[in-house]
Amino acid sequence: MENEVVDECVDQQLNKECEIEDAPLSFKADVWQHFGFPVSINDNGEKQTEKRKTICKSCRATVNYNSGNTSNMRSHLSNRHPEKLRPQQPTVSKKRKPGQLTLKEVFGAPLPPNSPRAEEITRCIGEYMAKDLRPFSVVDNGGFRRLVNTLEPKYAIPSRPYFSRTVLPALYKETKAKVTQSLKEAEGISITTDGWTSRATQSYITVTAHVMTSEWEMKSFVLQTRPLFTSHTGLNIAEVLKSAVLEWGLNMTSNNNQGIAVVTDNARNMDVAVREAGFSPHIKCFAHTLNLASKAGLNVNRASRLLGRVRRVAAFFHRSSTATAVLATKQGMLNLPAHKLIMDVVTRWNSSLDMLEHYLEQQQAIAATLLSAEVRRNAREIDTLEPVDITDAEDMVRLLSPLKKATTVLCDESQPTVSLIVPLKHMIEQSMAQCDVDSSTIAQMKRAILKDFTDRYQGEQNKFLQESTALDPRFRSLQQLNESQREDVFNRLKLKATQMQNQVHI
């Protein structure tokens, strides 16, 4: 320590006699006001400037200097001559114009609730709740809030009561106005209605309206789904239908002097309801008719017992996880599709057909599974079908497959299918004709199906269906009718067309 002090004193003594060269003007740092470069004289008597050291002009102390780095000089002034350092100048903020926002305010401020962007997002969330049947509490879910925050960090999701009391009622009012206008502009209106029961065993009735626009585009509107707390009598259902017509301003007669056509199932209370409500014409759902006829065929004793045996096998595999695992292994060994066995549903006849098809497809894997050691002891009361049962099951599948295809065609929601009823009914009646090669089971099923079809679509209802078929270019030849019947259908259509033309001129 003493040596360093002595060396510094020596340097200061030598520097007192040393010439100091000021820094160039291009050096902008404030410390250069107090430092310069030492100048020495070489052996030739020439002046030479030392650029690796600087000398303090106040105390003549030598400070090392690296090109462009003034830290050593600033440190020297801070320790020895703090009064020579410039005080830090406060940052001068530019004055903002009135109404001008800072960058933080622009990019970090939340969206005002009444801004177009926030209103559009709120509306979209409301439409999401309505179209996807989501509860109002979805806005409180953490995942949903994180999703919205990621898409728009500046948007604040409104509360659940705001959606239930403001957003959804406004959307309903707006949508109802559009639907009401579409119904007023339509020349003809048809409705479909059906009753159903929720999982909470609450009964409801849904009414749906169908119209054809001037651009020949079919549109469907669910007018209402109302709970029915009273008994499902025809009179009570009629009151529901009449209230729907009154609420939506539907005219019982349109410009073409036709009433409101209605489609229901074949239940007797629906017959009474439509008659009491005054709707016409009344068309029975052909898919439901097929369902009733097919169930009548499946209820034949032999077919019913066969289905019961297959159902027990499917139920066993549904109950046993071990049997299901072994079945999957056997399917792989036999190169069969990895399909599970299906249990039929009472209200859907085609589920019984699907159950039979899957059983026939997997019968080898089923037999191998039931004979395996890990399954056999728990499946003593479960047996496979005999060869004669397999034959009957295959015949049943062939008999019912056209009915399933017809049901699939009738489930089309993009265009009317009423013109298909007469051709499909005729085709099914032809396929149910008795054949010499039919087994006893198939013959009984055909008779049961035809008998159920006999009383369907009679009188005025049949005439309306024939006219609808004649108006369809695909079926206008009416091949299922004789010459006299075809002539009668075309005469009725000509008369109706003349009446419509006269009304237009009036």
Q: DSSP labels for 34-98?
A: SEEEEEEE-TTS-EEE-SSEEEETTT--EEE-BTTB-HHHHHHHHHH-GGGSPPPPPP-PPPPPT
Measured between alpha carbons, how far is 270 from 262 in angstroms, rounded to an integer?
10
Q: What does the pLDDT read at residue 374? A: 86
Residue type, 485: Q
Pick the closest to residue 236 from 197, 195, 284 (CA basis). 195
**Which residue from 47, 26, 22 is spatially nearest to 35, judged by alpha carbons?**
22
Average pLDDT estimate for 16-36: 79
CA 51 to chain centre: 77
Query: Is the pLDDT score of 21 beyond 90?
Result: no
pLDDT tens sequence across 339-366: 999 999 888 888 999 999 999 999 999 9
pLDDT score of 208: 94
Q: Evaluate whether 313 touches 359 at the Cβ level (below 8 Å).
A: yes
pLDDT the model gives residue 8: 52
- Predicted confidence at residue 40, as pLDDT, reads 81
User: Is the pTM higher than 0.75?
Assistant: no
**Torsion of Cα atoms, 453 then 456 then 459 then 460, to 10°:** -130
Phi, psi of 282 (to 5 degrees): -110, 115
Listed range (90-99, 277-286, 481-490) with the worst mean pLDDT: 90-99
For tokens 């903020």, the residue is 93
Q: When comparing pLDDT for 454 and 238, which is higher?
A: 238
According to the model, what pLDDT value does residue 3 have?
45
CA distance 57 to 277: 112
What is the rounded average pLDDT of the residues 440-455?
90
Q: At 359, list the tokens.
A: 């059983």
pLDDT at position 100: 72
Tell me which amino acid residue 237 is.
Answer: I
Q: What is the pLDDT of residues 270-327, one digit of tens each?
A: 999 999 998 888 999 998 999 999 999 999 999 999 999 999 999 999 999 999 999 9
Strongest mean pLDDT among 88-102, 131-145, 335-349: 131-145
Label residue 310 exposed, middle or buried (CB < 10 Å: 0-12, 13-18, 19+): buried
Pairing of strands 19-22, 282-284: unpaired
Instruction: Give the confidence band of 502 by pLDDT, cuts at 50, 70, 90.
Output: confident
Q: Which residue has the tokens 């999982």?
A: 199
Q: Decide the pairing of beta strands 203-212 and 189-197.
A: antiparallel
Q: Label residue 11 by pLDDT band (50, 70, 90).
A: low
**C-alpha span between 267 and 117 (Å, rounded):** 51
Which residue in this structure is represented by tokens 């496979």?
Answer: 384
Say what the pLDDT of residue 176 is: 93
The pLDDT > 90 percentage for the chain reads 49
How many angstroms separate the CA atoms of 429 and 422, rounded? 11
Residue 40 DSSP symbol: E
Cα 96 from Cα 443, distance rounded (Å) = 95
pLDDT-derived band of residue 42, with 50, 70 and 90 as boundaries?
confident
What is the pLDDT at residue 206?
A: 95
Q: Which residue has the tokens 């002595």?
A: 6
Task: Please report, in angstroms and rounded to a whole number, the separation of the first and last CA atoms in the chain.
Answer: 124
Does residue 441 contact residue 396 with C-beta atoms inside 8 Å?
A: yes
Per-residue model confidence as pLDDT tens digits over 143-170: 999 999 999 999 999 999 999 999 999 9
For residue 475, give the H/E element and its range.
none
Report how far residue 354's alpha carbon sits from residue 250's, in angstroms, rounded to the nearest whole number.
42
Residue at token pair 């075309």: 490
**Distance separating alpha carbons of residues 291 and 351, to the nearest angstrom:** 11
Of 293, 282, 133, 259, the closest CA to residue 193 belongs to 282
Question: How far is it, in rounded angstroms, from Cα 500 to Cα 429?
Answer: 35
Q: Say how far apart CA 442 and CA 439 lie, in whole Å.
A: 5
- The three-state DSSP-derived secondary structure of 270-302 is HHHHHHHHCCCCEEECHHHHHHHHHHHHHCCHH
Lowest mean pLDDT among 102-111, 147-156, 276-285, 329-338: 102-111
> What are the DSSP calls for 410-442, one per residue?
HT--SS--GGGHHHHHHHHHHHTS--TT--HHH
**Average pLDDT for the chain:** 86
Phi then psi dihedrals of residue 340, to 5 deg: -85, 155
Pairing of strands 35-41, 19-22: antiparallel
What pLDDT shows up at residue 469?
93
In degrees to the nearest 10, what's the CA dihedral of 31, 34, 36, 40?
A: -150
Average pLDDT over residues 31-59: 82
Q: Are 421 and 456 in contact, with CB atoms under 8 Å apart?
A: no
How far is residue 40's CA from residue 49's CA, in Å, rounded to a whole number?
6
Q: Which of 7-16, 156-165, 384-393 has the lowest mean pLDDT?
A: 7-16
Give the CA radius of gyration of the chain: 45
Averaged pLDDT for residues 413-429: 84
90 confidence band (pLDDT: 50, 70, 90): low
Cβ(298)–Cβ(276) under 8 Å?
no
Q: What is the pLDDT of residue 312?
A: 92
Decide which of 82 and 8 is more confident.
Answer: 82
For residue 399, the 8-state DSSP code is: H
